[in-house]
C-alpha cells in the first residue's frame, strides 16, 4: 500500500479481517478504504480524518499547518497492538488535549 503511495488513514481492529480459506492458510486483509488517499511524499497530507483513538499526534496538530505522511498507519498499528496486548487504549481522556 505505502509503496504505491496509498495511506489508509483509518486502520483499526474493525478494518482488519482474518481470512481462512482452508486449514493451511490464513490471510490478513485490510478493508474500508473510504478515508484512504493517494499521497505525494514530497507534499504530505493535511486532512484531519480517522478514528480518534487510532489517530497519530500529527493528525491532531492544529497549532500550525498539519502535515503528515503514511507513517500515521504505523502509529495506528501500534495502538492496535497495544490494545490487543493490554486490553485498553494507550491514551484515554474526555478531550483530545
**What are the helix (H) ranges across the chain?**
57-60, 71-86
Query: CA 94, CA 97: separation in Å to the nearest integer?
Result: 9
Per-residue pLDDT of the chain (97 residues; tens, 9 = 90+): 999 999 999 999 999 999 998 889 999 999 999 999 999 988 889 888 999 999 998 888 776 667 899 999 999 999 999 999 999 999 877 765 5
**Does the residue 97 lie in any domain?**
no
When divided into structural domains, the chain yields a total of 1
Query: CA 25, CA 2: separation in Å to the nearest integer?
Result: 25
Residues labelled catalytic: 10
**What pLDDT shows up at residue 34?**
95
**Does the residue 92 lie in any domain?**
no
Domain of residue 20 covers 2-86
Amino acid at each position: 500500500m505505502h509503496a504505491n503511495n496509498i495511506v489508509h488513514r483509518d486502520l483499526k481492529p474493525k478494518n482488519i479481517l482474518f481470512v481462512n480459506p482452508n486449514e493451511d492458510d490464513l490471510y490478513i486483509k485490510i478493508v474500508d478504504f473510504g478515508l484512504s488517499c493517494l499521497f505525494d511524499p514530497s507534499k504530505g497530507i493535511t486532512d484531519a480524518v480517522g478514528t480518534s483513538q487510532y489517530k497519530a499526534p500529527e493528525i491532531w496538530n492544529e497549532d500550525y499547518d498539519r502535515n503528515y505522511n503514511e507513517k500515521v498507519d504505523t502509529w495506528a498499528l501500534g495502538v492496535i497492538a497495544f490494545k490487543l496486548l493490554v486490553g485498553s487504549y494507550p491514551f484515554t481522556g474526555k478531550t483530545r488535549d
